[in-house]
Structure 1
Amino acid sequence: MSTAPLVAVPAAAAAVPRHVAIIMDGNGRWAKQRHLPRFAGHKAGVDAVRRVTRAARALGIEALTLYAFSSENWRRPEEEVADLMGLLRIFIRGDIDELVRENVRLRVIGDHSRLAPDLVAMVDAAVARTAANTGPILAIALNYGAQAELAAAARRLAERLAPHEIDEAAIEAELDTRDLPPLDLLIRTSGEHRLSNFLLWQAAYAELLFVDTLWPDFDAEALGAAVAAFGRRQRRYGGL
């Protein structure tokens, strides 16, 4: 396994976002531009995941959340879903040792119990292997949808709290991301300008960055540029 690429860390440590989330978009278009099957684009997307997770560690980002498979992605052709699940298996088998070695904590958000039983077991085992790690967090969104996340949180709260007891803090404590730092920067690749049901609550005051780069071409330099852009923004949280 190759080592993490060198990344220029911003001079001011405060300019580095604690938590970055990425909507990894553009695998299919990347493949189409090269007259390749969509699977080739998804495979290249996995390579980009490796590059970016290493770059995030080098930059000092505490948590990186990647939108790997949405609750709506089940609508894709069965063959493509199978290909995506196969690549997830390959990523876990091939990269879990590196995550353990680099002290990375693997987290999953979303209801991954809907995946194939062997894949659920593989994901759970990988999460367990890294549970004692104390370094950065890599959160993978699997069968995740923000609206479903919020609805589930509301149901749980309604079962045990009176309406006047439900506030923002109570809701946040029920979200899949409750043990992650607040979301600072959300990036979407491929030129699309929408959130696609991803981290809707968490993105309330996050900085949003939409880039034209297709996900398989996104690399350490692109992540460094995104972090630099974040550092130039002024976050007022509704104030002056």
Structure 2
Amino acid sequence: MLSVKDLHVYYGGIHALKGVSLEVPQGKIVTLIGANGAGKSTLLRTICNLVPARSGEILFQQENIVRVPTHEIVKRGIAMIPEGRRIFPNLSTYENLRLGAYGRTDDVEIEQDLQWVYKLFPRMLERKNQQAGTLSGGEQQMLAVGRGLMTRPALLMLDEPSLGLAPILVEEIFEIIREIHKQGITILLIEQNALAALKVADYGYVVETGNVVLSGAGDELLHSEEVRKAYLG
């Protein structure tokens, strides 16, 4: 579904991604693990064209999307749940979810998707009219994921969905990731909680200082001595 080939990205004079290549097969969960500042978020932002690529290719369903505007990339079926949630705090939970469907005109299907989000996250229905800024951290993360799902994505990219959450909520978020995946949505996941990420992933990549240094099946990386020492403690 997604193929990144020899991607180079710069922030001013800093070479942030140094020839990154990876594949995200349709219907799979692929995770990127690595330390802070390794380039993981930059990669997601570049896929969405929020950060321009200097060179390389990003093929989504066989089409190069490197120069495609961000709003068009969303329409083509890629949604990103950004690190830090980035919800609209002064709008209600419901208004935030409806904004996820801003590019859609299929009212019946929008309503169906809204009901699906409420089924996944019953608390979003309970908090429907509440200002999003007053939700707890875990609820805001659920809202951010729900808003992304309202775009009806083929590929959902999640940037640090468990960041700052209590362990019990981390478990809940990963359970929901599994549930979304069961609906046929392909997932690209960035996560500092390497253990939780590799447990759900079909395939994983280890990123260090802008390079992919290791890749393999999720289970294989979970039991790799190198990965255990560096990321699993």
Shorter-chain TM-score range: 0.3 to 0.5
Q: What TM-score does the superposition give when structure 2 sets the normalisation length?
A: 0.36
Instruction: Report 1 or 2 for greater relative contact order, CA contacts < 8 Å, sequence distance ≥ 6.
Output: 1
Q: Which has the higher strand share?
A: 2
Q: What TM-score does the superposition give when structure 1 sets the normalisation length?
A: 0.35
Q: Which has the higher helix share?
A: 1
